[in-house]
Amino acid sequence: MNIIDGKLIAEQIKTEIATEVRKMIDSDIRPPHLAAILVGEDPASQTYVASKERSCKEVGFTSSIYRYPATISEKDLLLAVDFLNKDEEIDGFIVQMPLPNHISVEKVIESIDPKKDVDGFHPINAGRMLANLPSYLPATPYGIMQMLERCNIETEGKHCVVLGRSNIVGTPISILMSRNNKHANSTVTLCHSKTKDLEKITLQADILIAAIGKPLFVTSNMVKEGAVIIDVGIHRVISSETKSGFRLIGDVDFLNVSKKCSYISPVPGGVGLMTIVALLQNTLKAARKEIYQ
C-alpha cells in the first residue's frame, strides 16, 4: 500500500508557483492577490481561511480577508462582493462557505465576477467546465486530478466510482475523470444517497473517490483488493490523544481500508492540502488572465 502524500505534492506545486511569482516580481509585475470573504465565526471556516492566508504568504501572493458578522444582511454582502469585483488590485476571491441561513448562497455566487471566481463555483465557470472550455476548475476536483497525475496513477480505462454528488466535489470530479485525456479517460459511476446495492458498485471500483461527508463511511468490505482510494472527507472528532482534544478523520476507515488498497490519500495530509494549492493555481491563472482576458 502506498500513501498518497498530499503534503509533498502540495509543497512541490507551491515551489513551482513561488518560482512563477518571483519571475513576475522580477519583471515589475505585482504578485497575485487572493481575497476571502468570511462571514460569522464558524471555527472550521476560520481555520480554512487562515490556512489559505498562510499558503498565500508561502508562495509570495498578497492575501486579504474581509470579515463580516453573521448578522450581515444579504444586500450588504452582495455590496461587499461587488466591491471586490471592482477592485483592480484583487485578481481572485472566494466567499467562504457555509453562509448564514438568511443569505442565499446562489445569489452570492452568481454575484461574483466569473473572471475572479477562483473557487470555480459560478454557473458560468461550471458551465464552461462542462463544455470543456477554459474555466476555473473547482479546487478540490482540480487538486484530486493533479494528485492522481503526479503519483502516476493509471486512470485510462479504469472504473472510477465517486461517492457523493455535490456541486463542488462529486459532480465535477465525475466529469473530469471521464474526460478524453491521458490523465482521465475513466469509466465513471456516480453514487449518491438513493443508490441501491452500493457495496456491489464500490467493490468494482479501481479508483474510489469518497466525497460523501460521512465519517468512516467506506469500510474495507466495500473495497476491492488493490483499489486506489481518494478520501475527500474532513471531520473533526473528539480525541483524548491530541493536545487540542480533536483529531481529523475522513470518509474512509483508513486503518482497515489501507490494508487492502494499492494507494490511499490520508486525512489529514491528503486532499485538503491539494485543495488549497489548486486555489493558488487558479489565482495565478487569474493574475495572468489565462482563462479570461
CA–CA separation, 164 vs 170, rounded Å?
Answer: 5
Residue 250 · residue 234 · CB < 8 Å: yes
Chain residues 99-118 in contact with ligand GUN, contact rule CB under 6 A: none
Q: Are strands 62-68 and 263-264 parallel, antiparallel or unpaired?
A: unpaired
Chain residues 133-162 in contact with ligand GUN, contact rule CB under 6 A: 139
Chain residues 188-247 in contact with ligand GUN, contact rule CB under 6 A: none
Q: Which stretch binds ligand GUN (CB under 6 A): 73-81, 93-101, 206-214, 249-257?
A: 93-101
Amino acid at 258: S
Q: Which stretch binds ligand GUN (CB under 6 A): 65-73, 94-102, 107-115, 246-254?
A: 94-102
Under rule CB under 6 A, residue 119 binds ligand GUN: yes
Q: Are strands 187-191 and 228-231 parallel, antiparallel or unpaired?
A: unpaired
Q: In angstroms, give the least distance from the CB of 36 to ligand GUN.
A: 8
Between residues 223 and 249, which has the closer beta carbon with respect to ligand GUN? 249
Residue 115 · residue 127 · CB < 8 Å: no
CA–CA separation, 145 vs 152, rounded Å?
Answer: 11
From 67, 74, 70, select the one nearest 50 (Cα to Cα): 67
Between residues 94 and 147, which has the closer beta carbon with respect to ligand GUN? 94
Q: Choose which of 65, 97, 201, 203 interacts with ligand GUN (CB under 6 A).
A: 97
Between residues 95 and 216, which has the closer beta carbon with respect to ligand GUN? 95
Between residues 205 and 270, which has the closer beta carbon with respect to ligand GUN? 270
CA distances for 167 relative to 126, 172, 279, angstroms: 9, 7, 16
Q: Which stretch binds ligand GUN (CB under 6 A): 95-103, 125-133, 158-166, 197-205?
A: 95-103
**Catalytic residue annotation:** 52, 96, 119
Under rule CB under 6 A, residue 96 binds ligand GUN: yes
Q: In angstroms, give the least distance from the CB of 198 to ligand GUN.
A: 25
For residue 264, which phi and psi values (nearest 5 degrees)? -150, 140
CA–CA separation, 35 vs 119, rounded Å?
Answer: 11
Q: In angstroms, give the least distance from the CB of 272 to ligand GUN.
A: 10
The set of cell numbers assigned to 161 is: 466510482
Q: Which stretch binds ligand GUN (CB under 6 A): 88-96, 206-214, 216-224, 247-255?
A: 88-96
Under rule CB under 6 A, residue 63 binds ligand GUN: no
The set of cell numbers assigned to 70 is: 453573521
Between residues 35 and 222, which has the closer beta carbon with respect to ligand GUN? 35
From 246, 234, 237, select the one nearest 210 (Cα to Cα): 234
Residue 229 half-sphere exposure toward CB, CA atoms < 13 A? 35
- How many residues belong to the site for ligand GUN (CB under 6 A)? 6
CA–CA separation, 164 vs 142, rounded Å?
Answer: 16
Q: In angstroms, give the least distance from the CB of 231 to ligand GUN.
A: 15
Q: How many CB atoms lie within 10 A of CB 54?
A: 11
Interface residues with ligand GUN (CB under 6 A)? 94-97, 119, 139
